[in-house]
Structure formats: C-alpha cells, structure tokens
Amino acid sequence: VRHCRTKHICFGGLAEAGRAFARLYHALRGVAPAASRDVPETEYDRRFTELMNDDFNCAGAISVLHALANDINQHRREGRDDEAKEAAAVTIRLGAILGLLQQDPDAFFQADAGGELSAEDIEAKIQARADARKAKDFAGGDRIRAELAEQGIILDDSREGTSWRRS
C-alpha cells in the first residue's frame, strides 16, 4: 500500500504560488488565443499527459504550463504572433484540465481583492494620468501613478495603452 506524505504549507510558499500563477496569466494577457480545436496536439500536450498519468504529478504538469508561458513571451518578443496565439491556446487547453486559466487575464488582474478603488475609479485615474501626460504635466502623471501604487494598483504601459492590475 502506497501512502502519501504530509504536505506542509507555509504562507511564503502560498505567496510564491500566487505569483507563479499570476505569471501564467501575465503571459496570456494581450494574446488572443487561437481556437483550441485548430491547434493540433503538441509535445507539450504529450508531456502534460505523461506527467498527469504519473501519479497525478500536478507540479510537473504546471511546469509544462510555465514552459508554454515562456514560449508565448518569446514568440511575442520575436513578433511571431500566430505562434504566440497557438501556444496560448495550448496553455489554456492544458490549464483547463486542472481547472486553471479559465478567466480572462484582464479580469484576473483586475479582480477586486477587497481594495477601496473600484475598476471605474481606477480607469478614471488612468484617464486623468493620460490627460496630464498629454498636457506635458509629467509630475502630475507620476503623482497619479504613485497614488495608485500606494493603493496596490500597478500600471503597465505599452504601445496599446495602459492596463492595470492589483498587486
């Protein structure tokens, strides 16, 4: 008879797991995944299945998701958007097996964690920051960013605009 070992959980480990999970969503953010049915089985699918069939090796299976996230980021850096979309589809497909990654990435990052600011309040502050920057009031824009950061809101600026997430 095989027995499972007791798992010891610490808050530091939980926090790191949360950050690792957020990295998966960060890779998916801004990528419109290809339709899963249009993406054939990959080596990642085979490796994931092999690990899950090995005594339900979730840690190994999740490492496959992180390898896919690395691929998504690499494809995006190299301008290979179609490959990034396919890798995103595989990531979501495999994550679904574990009940993970089924939420829109923006919704994940903007989920209310009991903070005082609503999404509408944050969007209004982002618009005020954009207006300040457009008027070349960079100090005002920086002040708004700092105010949001103090309230646990991180702004991510890109060519497509400013997105936000709760820290």
Strands 153-158 and 161-166: antiparallel
**Average pLDDT score over residue span 130-159:** 92
What is residue 98's predicted lDDT score, i.e. its pLDDT?
A: 96
Contacts of 45 by beta carbon, 8 Å cutoff, 6+ apart: 90, 93, 94
Domains present along the chain, CATH in parentheses = 11-108 (1.20.120.640), 112-166 (no CATH)
What is residue 151's predicted lDDT score, i.e. its pLDDT?
A: 87
100-116 residue pLDDT tens: 999 999 888 887 655 56
Of 119 and 20, the one with more pLDDT? 20
Contacts of 154 by beta carbon, 8 Å cutoff, 6+ apart: 148, 164, 165, 166, 167
What is residue 160's predicted lDDT score, i.e. its pLDDT?
A: 84
Residue 105 CA, distance from chain mean position: 6
- Comparing 2-6, 32-36, 52-56, 92-96, the range with the smallest average pLDDT is 2-6
3-state secondary structure the chain: CCCCCCCCCCHHHHHHHHHHHHHHHHHHCCCCCCCHHHCCCCHHHHHHHHHHHCCCCHHHHHHHHHHHHHHHHHHHHCCCHHHHHHHHHHHHHHHHHCCCCCCCHHHHHHCCCCCCCCHHHHHHHHHHHHHHHHCCCHHHHHHHHHHHHHCCEEEEEECCEEEEEEC
Residue 51 banded pLDDT, cuts 50, 70, 90: very high
